[in-house]
Amino acid sequence: MQGLMQDWPLLVSTILDHARINHPEREVVTRTVEGPIHRYTYRDLHGRAKRCAKALGRLGMRQGDVVATLGWNTHRHMECWYGIMGSGAVCHTLNPRLFLDQLNYIVNHAEDRFLLLDVSFVPIAEALQATCPTIKGYVILTDRAHLPETKLKNALCYEDLLAAEDESFAWVNVDERSAAGLCYTSGTTGNPKGVVYSHRSNVLHALAVNNADMLGLRSVDAIMPIVPMFHANAWATVFAAPMSGAKLVMPGGKLDGESVHQLLEDEAVTCTAAVPTVWLGLLQYLETQNKRLTTLQRVVVGGAACPGIVMEKFEEKYGVLVLHGWGMTEMSPLGTVSSLKPNQAKLSRAEQMKYKLKQGRAPYTVEMKIADDAGKELPRDGKTFGHLLVRGPAISKAYFKGEGGQILDQDGFFDTGDVATLDEEGFMQITDRAKDVIKSGGEWISSIEIENLAVGHPGVAEAAVIGLPHPKWDERPLLVVVKKPGAEVGKAEILSFLDGKIAKWWMPDDVVFATEIPHTATGKIQKRDLRERFKDHKLPGVV
């Protein structure tokens, strides 16, 4: 017998329609790239997204076209996002932090038809123009008053285009499995690969993200996604916010501690999300300026492991709940959040922290398992390390144009490239990226855990641990430290700070000080570069 329910297509446009009908007056506030604060409502966003769809259609955008954006988190980027997807075209977010040759490869690989960009990214587009012939036109996301001088051919002014249209546009009724978004992974090995989101996967993922144990956005919330839209859909907040009716606060390109704090307070933000480096910046600002957080209730930390000190400061000093999240571009991106379960509420604070600092547990829609090198499933005992594999309706089954070939195992699981443990409660903890693991005497040492402890030292701004070859143990850890400005701290002090916090054999064999640590375009430590930089470093006792 068949069920007799409607086939209501899970299209991204239904999310904005929902916000328009149910939360028309809820605000969308942006710190614009040009500077001033802009505010309007979901009703306005809906109307302008339709104008944008009409304008792009008039320029020649067709269903199935790939249209690129180079933009910060702003209301205009949101309008383009929904305008493109609502036209049945594919919104391709480009990461402006990538090297030009990577962007060049990506634009040509994706065959982007148009590029919509913020004023601040005009120089990047100019540099790409000659080698990216698929781009037929550039739209600069600003008004006539702020339009810069540019060498871009066919550059158009976004506000002029919108002013010429009305809102009478019917969203295109595509198949819910058709492509809506495209985002290339940062590609630490080989060329970047395109992750293709469908309307269906975006809607299902946003529903999962709005679970109470995940981000759980509600209409009473004000969410500020600091994580960029070009980093995996701003962790789905761009869908989850209008779906819930939460006020949306877009920070533009100013992500320093002071600017972030000002928006959090002025706009009464209750929930926000970013990578740990942003939070370290904010916490430092709060401490040095003696500021408080008066409205913030939860802060999502992800993209890299949350250092204990970040969780401790937010929760104990500022009374803000930390949700440690893990995910990846291929997972839309959220895979886990470390929300405590009722039995853990009875544990001591120290025991709770152990769980909260793990990467967390999966919502319905994400299945996880760990496996050995041969693909055999390993026990969920919280101790055994293995390759972390995932399966679900918002997880990639292939990369764009078949790059990378077959990426699923025989049971349909995708290998995340992370090495992790899973415990009986369903909590997952990442040890390392598989390519960064340190193997000493046949056992794995978690670089992430040592790094996150090291940044707990008051003189340490950032830390990275890499494995160096060792004649007896195969590899031994080297700790690379960037000191806080003015801090006086030496090797012996750092090692004694770590003493007792980690197993003796995890203790780094050496500590070196550096002025900076290299990062990828999505803010992760570039271990490959560090290994190259220190490849001739002699660990003590090694000749």
Closest Cα to residue 187, out of 428, 467, 542, 526? 526
Q: Output 244 or 329, the one with its CB closest to ligand AMP.
A: 329
| H, E, C per residue of 489-525 | CCHHHHHHHHECCECHHHCCCEEEECCCCCECCCCCE
Catalytic residue, chosen from 439, 493, 505, 532, is 439
Min separation Cβ 273 and ligand AMP, Å = 12
134 is catalytic: no
Nearer to ligand AMP, 152 or 368 (CB): 368
State the CB neighbour count (10 A cutoff) for residue 491: 15
Q: Tell me whether residue 182 or residue 305 sits nearer to ligand AMP (CB atom).
A: 305
């920070």: which residue's tokens? 251
Report the residue number, 437 or 514, with the smaller CB distance to ligand AMP: 437
CB of 307 to ligand AMP, least distance (A): 10
Instruction: Please answer whether residues 430 and 417 qualify as being in contact, where contact means their C-beta atoms are separated by less than 8 angstroms.
Output: no
**Minimum distance from CB of 240 to ligand AMP (Å)?**
17
Q: Determine which one of 176, 330, 451, 462 is catalytic.
A: 330
Could you give the count of Cα atoms lying within 13 Å of 364 in the half-sphere of its Cβ? 6
CB of 230 to ligand AMP, least distance (A): 11
Sign of CA dihedral 253, 105, 396, 328: negative
Q: Helices marked H in 164-224 — which ranges?
A: 199-209
142 vs 201, which CB is nearer to ligand AMP?
201
Please choose, from the candidates 404, 436, 406, the residue with its C-alpha nearest in 3D space to the C-alpha of residue 419.
436
Distance, in Å, from the CA atom of 377 to the CA atom of 399, rounded to the nearest integer, reads 25
How far is Cα 483 from Cα 516, in angstroms, rounded to an integer?
9
Catalytic residue among 142, 185, 270, 416: 185
From 444, 491, 501, 524, the catalytic residue: 444
Taken in order 23, 25, 26, 32, the sign of the CA dihedral is: positive
**Given the complex with ligand AMP, which of 94 and 174 has the nearer CB atom?**
94
493 has catalytic annotation = no
| Angle at CA of residue 181, ends 178 and 186, nearest 5° | 135
- Examine the residue annotation and report whether 185 is marked as an active-site residue of this protein: yes
Whether the CB-CB separation of 141 and 74 falls below 8 Å is answered with yes
Q: How many other C-beta atoms lie within 10 A of the C-beta of residue 307?
A: 24
Looking at residue 29, its amino acid is: V
Residue 302, φ and ψ in degrees, nearest 5: -160, -175
Residues making contact with ligand AMP (CB under 6 A) = 185-186, 232, 302-305, 324-326, 328-329, 333, 359, 416-418, 430, 433, 522, 524
CB-nearer residue toward ligand AMP: 194 or 302: 302
Alpha-carbon separation of residue 524 from 60, 73, 107, 130, 303 (angstroms) = 38, 20, 23, 31, 8
- State the minimum distance, in angstroms, from the CB of residue 17 to ligand AMP: 29
Least separation in angstroms between CB 535 and ligand AMP: 23
Residue 355: CB minimum distance to ligand AMP, A: 14
Catalytic residues: 185, 330, 439, 444
